[in-house]
Amino acid sequence: MNITQESDYAIRAVLILSKNKEKDILDAKTICELGSIPLRFLLKLLRKLIKSGIVKSYRGVNGGYSLAKEPIDINLKDIIEAIEGPIAINRCLYDKDSCSAGKGDNCCIHAALYRVQSTMINELEKINFENLRKGKW
């Protein structure tokens, strides 16, 4: 599994919002400058993060974006899934009928990959933005 550039930018944007809690609301231009994220790309990501309940948007002259949750309640898995969808390292883990060996749940490779995927998801869930903003990783 690759973390795409889109997820990387989204992680940066959420980290910027986490670090700037005292300002609370940041405009898109500030976020893109602080994170070296292209503005058009950022706006697309912010829509996905808003839809997933991670970010809130504010309209108007003093509008912008803030976190919808506390940084401790947002983890890397949340961001990746908001951008990419459910994490699956192989298609047979989310669609048993796509097993090229035709074994579905009876495939030893499927079982092994499921263990790897579960471990990865558990590790991504452990990394929250409170710790990231404090540099504890």
| Region 54-65 average pLDDT | 93
Euclidean distance between CA atoms 45 and 83, whole angstroms: 7
pLDDT digits (tens, 9 = 90+) for 99-133: 566 665 677 777 788 889 899 999 999 999 999 99
pLDDT at residue 95 in the model: 61
What are the sequence ranges of the domains in the chain?
Answer: 5-132
pLDDT (mean) for 68-91:
92
CATH number of 5-132: 1.10.10.10
Query: End-to-end CA distance of the chain, in Å?
Result: 21
pTM for this one? 0.87
What mean pLDDT value characterizes the chain? 89
Up-side HSE of residue 26: CA atoms within 13 Å toward CB? 26
Cβ-based burial of 44 (10 A; exposed 0-12, middle 13-18, buried ≥19): middle
User: 3-class DSSP state for residue 17?
Assistant: helix
Distance, in Å, from the CA atom of 76 to the CA atom of 15, rounded to the nearest integer, reads 10
Q: List the alpha helices (DSSP H) in the chain.
A: 5-19, 28-35, 39-51, 76-84, 108-126, 129-133
Residue 50 has φ and ψ, to the nearest 5°, of -65, -45
